[in-house]
Amino acid sequence: MLSTPMSMSMDTTSKHYTATSSENTAPDQEAVDLSLYEAAKDGDLHAAFVAIQKGADLGSQHDIRKETALHVAAYAGHKDMVVFLVQVGANIDCQTRLGRTALHLATLSIQLQNRAEIATFLLSSGANRSLRDLDGKTARDYALEEGQFDLADLMDRHEAAPAMQPIPASAIVPALVHAAASLHTKIPAASKRDMDGVVRSV
């Protein structure tokens, strides 16, 4: 079959459209993934919830350290954010470029007062306390180095728990409120109201 100028033009247009669509999709996904990462770092629950609704990849890793949203939330000491991310299915044992898990980073959290609570939650949610980073250290090793002897003892005594199953979007807010309450944290009323509105709209 001979190709006419018109058919060649249509074929070229089709290829251009496909390429352009592909190019536009990738940056959008990257932007959504990054918005979740930044929300986790800032402890912004509403922004994190919106990012999840837009399809953010919980396992996307960012910057030179290859950290996920859960990693930065644990290190920043954002208890309610850690609860939220685990509830919606974040890989609790995902390791950074240095081999550190959320449990490692919770032990090294800049929020000293939140270390034990976050570590306890991660352990009760199925975190593997035996994983070692590239320096050959477990979270317990860091707890000892930091002088957090009670935390190290907690890790010694804590029995392994089954991994938590992700929950459906319609149940995220009630589950988040319940889980956050177990950590004695409060979610701002505005955030709960806004997130509930997002749930109702999907």
Give the tens place of pLDDT for each residue, 142-168: 999 999 999 999 998 875 545 455 555
Pick the CATH number of 5-201 from 3.40.50.10860, 1.10.30.50, 3.40.30.10, 1.25.40.20: 1.25.40.20
CA distance 191 to 44: 9
Give the tens place of pLDDT for each residue, 40-94: 999 999 999 999 999 999 999 988 889 999 999 999 999 999 999 999 999 999 9
CA distance 10 to 37: 41
pTM: 0.69
Sign of the dihedral defined by the CA atoms of residues 93, 94, 96, 99, in that order: positive
Minimal CA–CA distance to 81: which of 183, 11, 10? 183
| 3-state secondary structure labels for all residues of 3-72 | CCHHHHHHHHHHHHHHHHHHHHHHHHHHHHHHHHHHHHHHCCHHHHHHHHHCCCCCCCCECCCCECHHHH
